[in-house]
Structure 1
Amino acid sequence: MTRRIVRTITQLTAAAFFAFLVIFLLDRNFRLLPNAVHEYMPQHHHGLVVTDIAITRCNKANIFSSCKLDPEVWHRIDKNLYLGHSWTNAYIHVQRKKEEDLTANDKVVIDVKVGPIDPSKAAAGEQLDSSWESRSAGLWILRSAKPHASDSKEAVTAVDVLFGDDAYEVRPGWAIRGLALLLDTNRDMPSAHITIRRGSYQEPKQPVPRIKDNGKFKIMQLADLHLSTGIGHCRDAVPNEYEGGPCEADPRTLDFVSRLLEEEKPDLVVLSGDQVNGDTAPDAQTAIFKYAHLLIKHKVPYVSIFGNHDDEGSSPRAAQMAIIEQLPYSLSKAGPDDIDGVGNYYVEVLAQGSSKHSALTLYLLDTHSYSPDERHYSGYDWIKPNQIEWFKQTASSLKGKHKEYTHIHMDLAFIHIPLPEYAIPENRFVGEWREGVTAPLYNTHFRDALVEEGVVMVSCGHDHANDYCMLSTDEEKGKPELWMCYGGGAGFGGYGNYEGFVRQVRLFDIDMNTARITTYKRLEYGETEKRIDQQIIVDGGNVMPPPEPPVQEEVVAA
C-alpha cells in the first residue's frame, strides 16, 4: 500500500510538472513562445557549427529502450523519422559548438550523404580531408580535422529532416542530401530525407508588392490546398484518373497551381487557409515547403492565413508561421501577440514606379477553428471582438496616409471561414451555391466593421464547393456595400463531392487607373482556358451590383 501511494504521488508530481511546462511554453492564444519555436526549428541557432550527427532508435513496447542522448551534448531534431506509424521511433541528433569554442581536437562536419556505399569508395581519385564516417540508417558524414574549417562556406551549421520523395527544400542555403534514410519502413510511410544548411543564416528575399507600371495588379487566391506529408490521397476527383494514371492528390494539385501561375502570372498569391491537411500531414513543414517551392520558383510574393485543418497535425500555428515568415517571397506575419489568433496582419501594395504611397491594402485575419462553446454555438469559431477592434483601429489609422495616393485607394480582406452573412439566400450572388454555408453560429458582426471601414471585398475558403460572390447591401437603402466571395477549393486532398465539383482558383484583376476590380475563376478540368463567372465587382472604387439576368421573353401561343 505504501509503495502504491508513493507511486501515485510521483505520477501526480510528474503530471503537474508537465502541465506547468505546457503552460510555460504556450501564451494566451496557445501559441508556442519564441524559445519553444526556436527549439522546434534548429536552423535558428546562429553562430553554431555541427561537429557530429547521430541517429537513435527505440521501441515503444520496450520501456527500457530510449531514443535520448545526453541533452548537454546533443540537440535532438524533434521529428520522429517514422512519423509515429511504427512501433519503432527514431530521431536525428546533432552536436553543435560555437565557433569561438572550437578546440584543436574538434572536428567540423563539412558534408553529409545518404546511401548504402561508403562515399569515399565511390569518389576514386578525389582528395579528401578525412574519410567518411558511417552512422546508422545509411547516413555518412565527412568531418574536417581542421577547426578553421568552421570559417568555410562548406561547414554544416544546421540539420533538419523532410519527408516524402516529393519533398522540396526551399530555405536559402539549405539542400536535401542524397537518398532517403535507410529505414525499415513500409511503402505507405513517407521516406525521411536529411537536409542541411551550410554557412551562416541567409535572409530570405521578400519583395515589396507594387502596382505595375500599366496600373494593373492581379491577385490569385489559393483556397484549401489540403497538402499532405507524402503524395496524399485524392478525394472526389473529377475525373478519377489523371494523365492516364490514378489520381495522386498533391502532385495533381501542384500541377494545377503551377499551370495557372504560368498562364495568369499573378502579382500576389493569397493562401486563404487549409494549405495543410492536418490529419495526413504529420510533418506540416514538408507540406508548407511544397506550395512555397512553386511560388518561389515563379518569383511570386505570397501571404497566408490558417484554416481549421492546418494545425491538426504535428505543428501549432505559431510554429508554422515562424517557418513561413522566414521563407523567400513570403510576406506573411504572425501579427500582434495580444490579439486572438495567429495571422492578423495587413499588407500594403505600393503605387507604381518608385512611389511610397499605398494603392491597395489587404487585411488578413485568423478565423480560428472549432467553436469554443459547442453547447450554445456548435460548429466553427468566430472572429473575436479584440480582432475586430484591432482591424478598426488599424484601418482608421491608415486612412490619412492612404489619402496621399493620387488615385482611389482600395481595401480588401481575406479570411478562411465564411461570415454568417454569406448564408443569406435573399442576397444576389454570381456562381454556384452547392453546399451549406458552414459559418459560425455566433455573429460578432465583422461584416459591419468591414463596411464601416470602407473594405469593398472580402473573400474566404473553407466551403470547397461553394464558389459564388455574394453582394451584401444596406437593408434600408438597398445600396451595394460589400462583395463576399469564395475562393473555390483548389486541392485534391480535400472533399469535392458536390455535383461533380471541379477544382478551381479565383482571381482578382485590379486596374488602379479606374479603381476597378474584375473577378473570375479558372478550372482544373474541362473548360480549363475559360474565365468562369467573370464580373466587375468594384468600379471607380465603388461596390457594383451584379449584372442583371437576361429577361426571358414570354412566348404567347397563337
Structure 2
Amino acid sequence: MKTQRSIFLLLLCCLIVQNLATKRFLKFNEDGEFKIAQFTDLHFGVDRYDVKTIGVQRILLDLEQPDFVALTGDTITGRYSDTVEKGKKAWNKAVGEMAKRDIPWGLKQVQKGNCGNFNLEKIDLILKRLIKENPRLHGRFGYGCVQPNQIDWFNEVSSEFSREYPNHMGIVLFHIPLPEMLEFWHTDISFGTQEEIVCCPQNNTGLYQAMVDNGNIKLVLNGHDHINDYCTRSKSRAPDLWMCYGRKTGYGYYNPVPPMYHGARIIQLFNNQTTGTTFTTWIRDRQRRKIFQHLHKPDCILDEQCVLPKV
C-alpha cells in the first residue's frame, strides 16, 4: 500500500472466500483509481430474459471496464432455479461475462457456497460478511432488516479495521434499502428518480446510525426496488454518507420503462495521499448513456411508510 487510506467494502450475506491458484488483490491502480460496477436485480433463470440481461452486461462491461463488479442481490430467481442443475445454469450465466473478461466480482447472496472469484487480503479492498437480512423481527413482518447481533458484528469488525487503517473509506453493499432511504428522499437533497414506494423494513434496527458512528463509511449501495435509482443523504446527521440505489440490470420481473433503461451504477474511487479517498458516481444504461442524475429537492412528506411485501 502506498498510504493507509483504503476501501472497506461490506457485502451483506456473503464472505468472498474462493481461492485461486494465484492470489488476486484488489488495489488502486498507479493513478490512484478504482472503478466498481454495481449489477443489481439480475434475476437470472428464464432463458428469454437472460439473453437480454447478458446483452446489458456486455455493453456495460465493455464501456466502463470496471476493476470490480458487485452483485447486490436477487442475482438468481429461486422459483425458476429450483434444482441443482437449473441453479448451476443460471449461476454460470450470471457471472459468465465477468469470467470471460477476468474481472473480479462478488455478491450479496444467501445461497451457500463460493461467492466470488478472487482471494482477499487486508490491502486496498476488504470484503466482509453479515448474516442474511431477516424478514421478521419482534413479531413484525416486512422486507428484510438487519438483526441487532449483525449490527454488533458490524461495529466489532469496523472498529477493528478503523484501528488498523484509521483513514480508510468504507463502502457498504446490501440488497434491501434502509428506512432512511425513504426518510431522506423527503427531507433532504437527493439525486435521481423514485418511481415506486421504497420497499424498506418496517423495523429500523439501527444500521444507519451504526455507520454514522463508525465515521469512515461514506457510501451505501443497495438494489431491490427495480425503478428507483436515486442517491440521498442527511446533511444534518451525516453529510458525507451517501446512500444510493443501483440501476436495475436484469430483465426478470418488472422493469424500468423508457426513458429509464436497464443499466448499472458506476462508482469511481480516487485515492490521494493529501485529500484521502473520494468518489464520484453515475448511471450507465444499455443505451450507452452516461447519466449524472437530476436534483430532487425535499418535499417534506413525513408520513409515508416503508411498503409491506405482498404475501
Q: TM-score w.r.t. structure 2 length?
A: 0.79
2:95 aligns with 292
Paired-residue identity, %: 30
**Structure 2 unaligned spans of 5+:** 1-12, 299-311
- Within a 5 Å distance, the mapping from 1:53-64 to structure 2 comes to none
**For residues 483 and 324 of structure 1, what CA distance do their matches in structure 2 show?**
26
1:392 aligns with 155
* Paired amino acid for 2:292: D
Deviations 1:207-246 (A, max 9, x none): 1111101111001111110000x51xxxxxxxxxxxxxxx
1:217 aligns with 34
Matched-pair contact (CA < 8 Å) for 1:215–1:512: yes
Aligned residue among 52, 58, 65 for 1:258? 58
Shift of 1:481: 4.0
| Change beyond 3 A, Cα 1:501–1:365 | farther
Matched-pair contact (CA < 8 Å) for 1:305–1:366: no
Matched-pair contact (CA < 8 Å) for 1:224–1:494: no
**For residues 302 and 260 of structure 1, what CA distance do their matches in structure 2 show?**
14
The 3-state SS of whatever aligns with 1:490 is coil
Aligned residue among 258, 268, 283 for 1:509? 268
1:521 aligns with 283
2:223 aligns with 461
**For residues 300 and 522 of structure 1, what CA distance do their matches in structure 2 show?**
18
Shift of 1:499: 6.6
Say if 2:195 is the partner of 1:434: yes
| Change beyond 3 A, Cα 1:348–1:457 | farther
- Within a 5 Å distance, the mapping from 1:307-386 to structure 2 comes to 317=110, 320-324=111-115, 329-330=117-118, 350=123, 358=124, 360-362=125-127, 365-368=130-133, 370-371=135-136, 376-386=139-149
**For residues 199 and 225 of structure 2, what CA distance do their matches in structure 1 show?**
7
The 3-state SS of whatever aligns with 1:321 is coil
1:124 aligns with none
Deviations 1:363-416 (A, max 9, x none): 55455253356xx5332121011111111111111123214xxxx521111011
Q: Which runs of 4+ in 1 moved over 6 A?
A: 546-549
**For residues 547 and 381 of structure 1, what CA distance do their matches in structure 2 show?**
27
Matched-pair contact (CA < 8 Å) for 1:472–1:484: no
2:289 aligns with 530
2:235 aligns with 473
**For residues 488 and 410 of structure 1, what CA distance do their matches in structure 2 show?**
23
Deviations 1:430-459 (A, max 9, x none): 000110101000010100101111201101
1:482 aligns with 241
Aligned residue among 161, 173, 176 for 1:414? 173
Matched-pair contact (CA < 8 Å) for 1:362–1:413: no
Shift of 1:301: 0.9
**Structure 1 unaligned spans of 5+:** 1-30, 32-170, 172-201, 232-247, 307-316, 332-346, 351-357, 536-545, 550-558
Matched-pair contact (CA < 8 Å) for 1:324–1:330: no
Matched-pair contact (CA < 8 Å) for 1:463–1:488: no
**For residues 547 and 217 of structure 1, what CA distance do their matches in structure 2 show?**
28
Say if 2:226 is the partner of 1:226: no
1:279 aligns with 79
* Paired amino acid for 1:431: G
- Within a 5 Å distance, the mapping from 1:154-169 to structure 2 comes to none
| Change beyond 3 A, Cα 1:257–1:205 | farther
Deviations 1:116-151 (A, max 9, x none): xxxxxxxxxxxxxxxxxxxxxxxxxxxxxxxxxxxx
**For residues 204 and 278 of structure 1, what CA distance do their matches in structure 2 show?**
31
Say if 2:105 is the partner of 1:302: yes
Shift of 1:461: 0.5
* Paired amino acid for 2:144: D
**For residues 508 and 227 of structure 1, what CA distance do their matches in structure 2 show?**
24
Matched-pair contact (CA < 8 Å) for 1:362–1:411: no
Deviations 1:56-85 (A, max 9, x none): xxxxxxxxxxxxxxxxxxxxxxxxxxxxxx
Shift of 1:259: 1.8
Q: CA RMSD in A?
A: 2.8
